């Protein structure tokens, strides 16, 4: 624990005499210490950390995370309402909106809705009303802030409250196309198909270049899930009405017709199609069209968001970047989602800034909302201004990303922020490591930004603090605290429990020994939320709420200092708030840090000890042996031996400090430890260089089963009243060891009260792999349900704590029992925290029993042979086993097919190290052989976030049409993919090009989750039993005596006949010995080389014999081969250079005017380039010429006289079949394209004003129409003779013919396999079918379906890949 200094302006000074167990200070000093550091008169602190954790923590009360009901296990670390952080934010715990009746009959305790009294913020504002945050800029790193939320419009002195809105994630980025000129009629068509009129060029619509740029985005990509659900429901209700009316009209029309009427049958087909369509309905949501231009001074844009095909742009807001004019818009009255704009890369990117949830707005409201008419609801610092920095990515359910975090730091620095609040965080495998941590420290240390962050919601076990708050030096980590007034005002409890730390508030120390929690603040509030929630405010709980409360309190201090023209640095501020924080009885610093923030006391401290750059600096303290910020002993071996730690201290000067100050710097420190089991030297001299000392930690005599806390501090001998200049926490968790013959731990008759916690620390025996927890209750009064918490955790090196934890909320009754299990690792300490949920009223008595079991095996086994083996042993007890083994995933590596490094020189990518961050996009191609669940991940990159060296690890998966299928990042999850070809794009960022270059060939892994797992049997005995799959020697259950060792055998799965597998892939699954599937062994089986198919000698002989029948001369064969090559070359040239290719094609046609290969090449080229134009006659003429070159009668005779079972040795017949099949292929191709060309000609004649023709109602005499109809009918009839026109290759001819005859129902039925049944094989005509479908709906007046299909066409067939962050 660290001493807390309380200023003499608020409390009388007292002279502290050193305790007998510690060394004396060389100089006398006076200050008051909050937790009795070194004082024999304050021995309570010392004893509270040498007592059993069960004794100390049993008095620690916590508050609930919801009224009377704890979160379910799936809700842990999730937010209220729409804020589903996917375990990303240190956030709210879901709460209900239960009403509360005040204990005071005369009024509601409004002041506790946004608590300011517990931190002295309210009394400070009464004392200094002008120091209300004015002049302070605060960056809110969160889900984004809604500028339209109540209380976030103006500051107390009338300034703009929110001065910038930034989407640092890039989730709102829209890539704009190249500029297009505005036509004379000023009407343009947007990318989604809207027809819009550009207003006259004046005012905000000024446009010197007379050009605009276009972009589009799916609105649901920006909507939080609750908003999307609400809007979807409303849109569906509206759509259902239109759909029902259409069905009713069709049924009415059908009822008026005779049964055999052709039109009646077509109407019935239309009805059937509509019903099928509705069964597959999926709301695309609004499609946003963005139109941007430069008005001569700045970029502007409008956003079209309605479902209308046309929109009046003059009614929309032509907005510049938000920070220029403080303007924002609303997509629609239906969604009430507010948005703003930013422009990057010289207009290439328009960023539509929205909120990814309500969390950020709520946080901002706690810090500084201003309600002029209800000042009681004000935030803590209502005079402050804000920069909203969205780090929660809308594409990822509001999870933070590397680019969002680093860009957030850039935005805060560029805006000149004084403070950052970040109510986000993650478990991390390493402390004080990684790219974001490095730049966060740089921003704090070199640019004077105070950084406040939430400690986490992962408690109550120790060492559950997360990144960045607890793992980054210089950040103020805030725990969550609740008062009785808060319980009264915000919860409907029939009894009020004492004020305490919330049970879910994360506890320290961090893995590198730092205290983990700096201070605490109120952890719940009723504050503003975005307008789309349709609510003014909402209650949320979490360290996400305590952090902004503390941030607001610190903003008051900075406002005071700035008003007085006084300087500060973050270290100076942090020392003030920590040294004056108020501790709570029976709570230790691992739970609440130094205590609850006290704003007035901290202000008085700052007045007593004015800032001096020579005095108020950072000191970098490192325990060299561990590379850590503190000393943390937790495992059995290290807590039973004397430990000598080498500690180095170095002063850290701010970037602009004068060299003379560095030269003259000299400090003489008094080194003091507060526990007799910690020995340190008395003094340390420090100049502008590093100096070191040794500390001796002797935990041998400390009581096992408990946590013991001490601290080493350095006090400036000339400024002792200012408190410690640096601190080294010392935490010793000394586990209990179980007797050699006992593998059970029992603690009986544990007495619990609401909020009470009991901690137990056990050394897990070597060889143990599973822990079974049994919680038994005894009789208690009242005999109602109790809610208990069980939190068990191990700390494994280089792993985050959440990989080795069990956390459960248990509803339990008298004489009840609950059994839980978790995997454990032998040889490591296991903490077990058992407590009663804070709102679970009444006492309870509980027995806790823990039993360990285990079989010693490898953690992973790879089978390289048909049979693999596992060595196993029962090392510490007799063990019953139940063996189950299966493979559940098929995995394969994919290497990039392309890579690109991009340097976007816009401000959000400009690091404060004067370098631009560069982006590398790696492109991968992969295929799926069947629909199912897949995971796409980048090894190493996807497993880390705060500790990562590369800034981004986002993977986006697209289909063949560039439609986005899934976005993945930190810890990717399974998602559904259909069968097909896909593209994955991996995004990496770094300012060092060489580091990006190193990863140009980085692989990704695609994992296919098998619909049916592949079981594999376990055998005992010998390898032969596995080879022959002996049923007799299968290992289903077993009994293993202690000390026995044996070998088990596993048979590899039979892969020879499996579909979709290739050499280089591998199966992955699990082998488990425990009936509850605890602690499995990972199995991997690499796919061996696929067996080579035997050579088909019959086929080879057939080719040989047919070749012998070719009686052409060598000269003729050469000529034929040359034509083949010239055709291939010309075909390739036409794709590369159309003009040169056409010249060569004409030469080829002139040379070989009747060669089917040459004519077919010409036909295909004409068809691809003239369909839909007046040149369809060229297609018809060329097709007719091909027909004349083929003797169709002879061809018909050939196919009509083929025997049903040809003689397999009649090679002449086989040669004839080959030759005629090739002629038939040429003929069918010509007939198909001739039919399509004739239909195109008819459609062109019959086209209306829009140019779209689906009805045969154009000009021309009846005789001309009949002639046209006969010719088209005959063309289609001829095609039907030679092929099945309902197959995908030639389906368009049948569909277009049905449209020509106005048989719309029949046309839709023909397209049903693709439109409704999603059958394969339609890739070549997919877009044609989609266009025809839309034309039919337009012709039939089905406007709602026309809009629906237009929207999905925009989403399914984007012009390019979306912009990556």
Residue 527: partners with Cβ closer than 8 Å, 6 or more residues away: 114, 362, 363, 365, 366, 369, 379, 537, 538, 540
- Reported residue count of the chain is 1365
Distances (CA, A) of 1126 to 1135, 1149, 1151: 15, 11, 11
Report which DSSP code applies to 55: H
**For the chain, counts of helices (H) and of strands (E):** 30, 60
Contact, 223 vs 358, CB < 8 A? Answer: no
1140 backbone φψ class: left, alpha, beta (φ>0; ψ -120 to 50): alpha
User: Is the Cβ–Cβ distance between 905 and 1073 less than 8 Å?
Assistant: no
Nearest-Å Rg of the Cα atoms of the chain is 38
What's the rounded Cα separation, in Å, for the pair 651 and 686?
8
CB 354 within 8 A of CB 222: yes
- Catalytic, 273? Answer no
Q: Which helix (DSSP H) or strand (DSSP E) does residue 1313 occupy? A: helix 1312-1315
Q: Are 716 and 684 in contact (CB under 8 A)?
A: no
CA atoms within 13 A on the CB side of 613: 16
Say how many C-beta atoms besides its own lie within 10 A of residue 213's C-beta. 21
- Nearest 10 degrees: Cα torsion 944, 949, 952, 953: -40
Q: Which of 712, 944, 550 is nearest to 23 (CA)?
A: 712
| b (16+ CB within 10 A) / e for 716-728 | bbebbbbbbbbbb
Helix or strand run (H / E) with residue 968: strand 964-968
Cα distance between the two ends of the chain: 43
Indicate the angle between helix axes 1262-1282 and 1291-1300, nearest 10 degrees: 160
Three-state SS at 128? coil
Choosing from 61, 243, 294, 359, the catalytic residue is 359
**In angstroms, how far is CA 398 from the centroid of its own chain?**
7
Residue 929: count other Cβ atoms within 10 Å of its Cβ: 12
d(CA 772, CA 1147): 84
The catalytic residue among 83, 142, 164, 266 is 142
SS (H, E, C) 249-291: HHHHHHHCCCCCCHHHHHHHHHHHHHHHHHHCCCCCCCEEEEE
Cα separation values, 1227 from 126, 1219, 1296, Å: 93, 13, 20
The SS3 call for residue 561 is helix
Distance of alpha carbon 141 from alpha carbon 423, whole angstroms: 7
Query: Residues 6 or more apart from 1139 whose CB is under 8 A from it?
Result: none
Whole-number Cα distances in Å, 939 to 95, 788, 858, 942: 37, 38, 22, 6
Q: Tell me, yes or no, if 544 is annotated catalytic.
A: yes
**Residue 705 DSSP label:** T
CB 48 within 8 A of CB 56: yes
Cβ neighbour number for residue 1337 with a 10 Å cutoff: 24
Mapped to the 3 state alphabet, what secondary structure does 170-186 carry? CCCEEECCCCEECCCCC
Q: Listing from the earlier edge strand, what are the strands of the sheet with 1018-1019?
A: 867-873, 1045-1051, 1018-1019
> Out of 398, 453, 544, 823, which one is annotated catalytic?
544
Q: Which helix (H) or strand (E) holds 935?
A: strand 932-937
Q: Which residues are catalytic?
A: 142, 359, 544
């Amino acid at each position: 624990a660290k001493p807390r200094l309380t200023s003499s302006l608020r409390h009388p000074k007292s002279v502290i005499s050193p305790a007998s167990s510690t060394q004396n200070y060389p100089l006398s000093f006076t200050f008051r210490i909050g937790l009795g550091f070194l004082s024999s008169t304050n021995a309570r602190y010392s004893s509270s950390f040498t007592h059993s954790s069960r004794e100390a923590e049993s008095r620690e009360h916590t508050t609930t995370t919801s009224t009377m009901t704890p979160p379910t296990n799936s809700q842990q670390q999730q937010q209220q309402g729409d804020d589903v952080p996917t375990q990303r934010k240190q956030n709210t715990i879901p709460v209900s909106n239960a009403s509360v009746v005040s204990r005071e009959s005369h009024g509601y305790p409004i002041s506790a809705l946004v608590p300011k009294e517990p931190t002295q913020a309210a009394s400070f504002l009464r004392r200094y009303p002008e120091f209300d945050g004015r002049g302070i800029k605060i960056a809110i790193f969160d889900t984004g802030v809604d500028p339209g939320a109540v209380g976030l419009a103006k500051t107390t002195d009338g300034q703009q409250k929110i001065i910038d809105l930034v989407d640092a994630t890039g989730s709102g980025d829209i890539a704009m196309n190249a500029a297009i000129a505005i036509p004379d009629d000023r009407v343009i068509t947007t990318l989604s198909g809207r027809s819009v009129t550009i207003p006259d060029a004046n005012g905000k619509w000024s446009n010197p270049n007379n050009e605009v740029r276009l972009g589009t985005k799916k609105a649901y990509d920006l909507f939080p899930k609750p908003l999307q659900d609400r809007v979807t429901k409303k849109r569906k209700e509206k759509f259902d009405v239109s759909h029902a009316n259409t069905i009713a009209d069709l049924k009415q029309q059908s009822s008026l017709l005779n049964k055999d009427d052709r039109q009646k049958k077509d109407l019935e087909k239309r009805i059937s199609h509509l019903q099928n369509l509705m069964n597959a309905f999926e709301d695309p949501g609004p499609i946003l069209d963005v139109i941007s231009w430069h008005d001569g001074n700045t970029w502007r844009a409008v956003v079209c968001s309605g479902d209308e095909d046309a929109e009046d742009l003059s009614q929309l807001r032509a907005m510049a970047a938000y920070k220029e004019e403080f303007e924002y818009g609303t997509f629609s009255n239906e969604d009430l989602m507010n948005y703003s704009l930013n422009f990057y890369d010289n207009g290439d990117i328009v960023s539509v800034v929205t909120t990814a949830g309500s969390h950020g707005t709520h946080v901002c409201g706690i810090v500084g909302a201003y309600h002029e008419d209800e000042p009681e609801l004000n935030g803590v610092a209502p005079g402050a201004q804000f920069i909203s920095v969205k780090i929660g990515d809308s594409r990822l359910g509001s999870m933070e990303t590397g680019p969002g975090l680093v860009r957030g730091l850039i935005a805060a620095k560029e805006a000149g922020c004084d403070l950052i609040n970040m109510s986000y965080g993650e478990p991390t495998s390493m402390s004080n490591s990684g790219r974001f941590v490095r730049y966060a420290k740089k921003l704090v240390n070199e640019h004077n930004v105070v950084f406040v962050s939430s400690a986490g919601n992962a408690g109550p076990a120790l060492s559950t603090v997360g990144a960045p708050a607890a793992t980054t030096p210089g950040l103020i980590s805030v725990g969550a605290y609740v008062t009785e007034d808060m319980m009264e005002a915000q919860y409907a409890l029939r009894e009020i429990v004492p004020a305490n730390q919330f049970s879910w508030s994360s506890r320290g120390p961090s893995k590198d020994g730092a205290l983990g929690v700096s201070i605490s603040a109120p952890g719940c509030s009723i504050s503003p939320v975005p307008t789309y929630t349709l609510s003014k405010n909402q209650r949320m709980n979490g360290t996400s709420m305590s952090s902004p409360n503390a941030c607001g309190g610190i903003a008051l201090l900075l406002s005071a200092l700035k008003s007085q023209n006084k300087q500060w640095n973050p270290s100076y501020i942090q020392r003030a708030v920590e040294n004056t924080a108020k501790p709570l009885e029976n709570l230790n610093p691992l739970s609440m840090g130094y205590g609850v923030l006290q704003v007035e006391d901290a202000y008085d401290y700052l007045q007593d000890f004015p800032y001096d750059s020579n005095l108020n600096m950072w000191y970098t303290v490192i325990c060299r042996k561990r590379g850590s910020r503190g000393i943390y002993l937790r495992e059995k071996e290290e807590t039973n031996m004397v430990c000598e730690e080498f500690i180095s201290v170095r002063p850290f000067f701010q970037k602009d400090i004068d060299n003379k100050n560095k030269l003259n710097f000299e400090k003489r420190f008094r080194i003091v430890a507060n526990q007799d089991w910690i020995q340190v030297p008395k003094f340390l001299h420090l100049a502008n260089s590093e100096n070191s000392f040794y500390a001796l930690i002797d935990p041998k005599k400390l009581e096992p089963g408990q946590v013991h806390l001490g601290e080493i501090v350095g006090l400036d001998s000339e400024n002792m009243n200012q408190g410690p200049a640096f601190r080294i926490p010392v935490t010793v968790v000394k586990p209990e060891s179980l007797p050699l013959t006992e593998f059970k731990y029992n603690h009986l008759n544990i007495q619990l009260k609401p909020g009470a916690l009991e901690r137990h620390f056990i050394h897990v025996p070597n060889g143990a792999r599973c822990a079974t927890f049994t919680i038994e209750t005894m009789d208690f009064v009242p005999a109602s349900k109790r809610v208990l918490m069980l939190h068990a955790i191990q700390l494994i090196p280089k792993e985050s704590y959440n990989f080795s934890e069990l956390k459960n909320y248990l509803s339990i009754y008298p004489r009840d029992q609950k059994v839980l299990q978790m995997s454990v690792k032998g040889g490591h300490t296991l903490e077990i925290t058992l407590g009663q949920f804070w709102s679970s009223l009444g006492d309870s008595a509980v027995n806790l029993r823990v039993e360990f079991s285990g079989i010693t095996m490898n953690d992973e086994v790879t089978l390289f042979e048909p049979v693999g083996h596992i060595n196993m042993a029962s090392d510490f007890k007799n063990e019953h086993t139940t063996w189950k083994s299966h493979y559940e995933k098929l995995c394969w590596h994919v290497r990039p097919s392309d890579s690109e490094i991009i340097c976007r020189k816009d401000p959000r990518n400009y690091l404060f190290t004067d370098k631009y961050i560069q982006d590398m996009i790696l492109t991968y191609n992969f295929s799926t052989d069947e629909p199912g669940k897949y995971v796409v991940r980048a090894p190493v990159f996807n497993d880390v976030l705060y500790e990562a060296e590369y800034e981004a690890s986002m993977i986006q998966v697209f289909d063949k049409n560039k439609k986005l299928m899934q976005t993945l990042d930190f810890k990717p999850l399974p998602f559904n993919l259909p069968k097909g070809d896909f593209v994955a794009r991996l995004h990496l960022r770094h300012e060092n090009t060489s580091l990006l270059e190193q990863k140009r060939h980085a692989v990704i892994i695609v994992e296919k989750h098998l619909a049916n797992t592949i079981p594999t049997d376990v055998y005992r005995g010998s390898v032969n039993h596995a080879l022959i799959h002996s049923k007799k020697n299968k290992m289903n259950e077993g009994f293993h005596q202690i000390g026995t060792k044996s070998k088990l055998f596993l048979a590899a799965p039979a892969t020879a006949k499996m579909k979709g597998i290739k050499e280089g892939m591998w199966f992955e699954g699990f082998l488990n010995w425990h009936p509850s599937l605890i602690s499995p062994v990972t199995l991997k089986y690499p796919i061996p080389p696929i067996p080579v198919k035997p050579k088909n000698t019959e086929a080879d002989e057939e080719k040989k014999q047919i070749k012998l029948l070719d009686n052409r001369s060598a000269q003729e064969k050469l000529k034929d081969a040359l034509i083949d090559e010239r055709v291939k070359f010309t075909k390739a040239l036409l794709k590369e250079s159309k003009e040169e290719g056409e010249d060569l094609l004409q030469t080829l046609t002139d040379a070989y005017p009747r060669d089917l290969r040459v004519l077919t090449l010409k036909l295909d080229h004409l068809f691809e380039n003239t369909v839909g134009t007046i040149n369809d006659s060229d297609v018809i003429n060329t097709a007719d010429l091909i027909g004349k070159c083929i003797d169709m009668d002879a061809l018909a005779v050939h196919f009509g006289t083929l025997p049903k079972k040809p003689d397999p040795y009649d090679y002449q017949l086989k040669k004839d079949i080959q030759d005629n099949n090739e002629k038939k292929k040429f003929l069918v191709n010509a007939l198909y394209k001739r039919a399509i060309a004739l239909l195109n000609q008819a459609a062109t004649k019959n086209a209306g004003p829009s140019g779209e023709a689906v009805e045969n109602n154009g000009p021309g005499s009846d005789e001309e129409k009949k002639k046209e109809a006969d010719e088209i009918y005959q063309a289609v009839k001829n095609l039907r003779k030679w092929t099945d026109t309902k197959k995908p290759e030639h389906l368009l001819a049948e569909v277009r013919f049905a449209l020509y005859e106005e048989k719309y129902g029949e046309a839709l039925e023909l397209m049903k396999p693709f439109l409704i049944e999603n059958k394969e094989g339609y890739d070549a005509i997919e877009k044609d079918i989609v266009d025809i479908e839309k034309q039919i709906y337009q012709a039939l007046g089905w406007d709602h379906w026309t809009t629906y299909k237009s929207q999905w066409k925009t989403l399914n067939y984007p012009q390019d890949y979306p912009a990556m962050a």
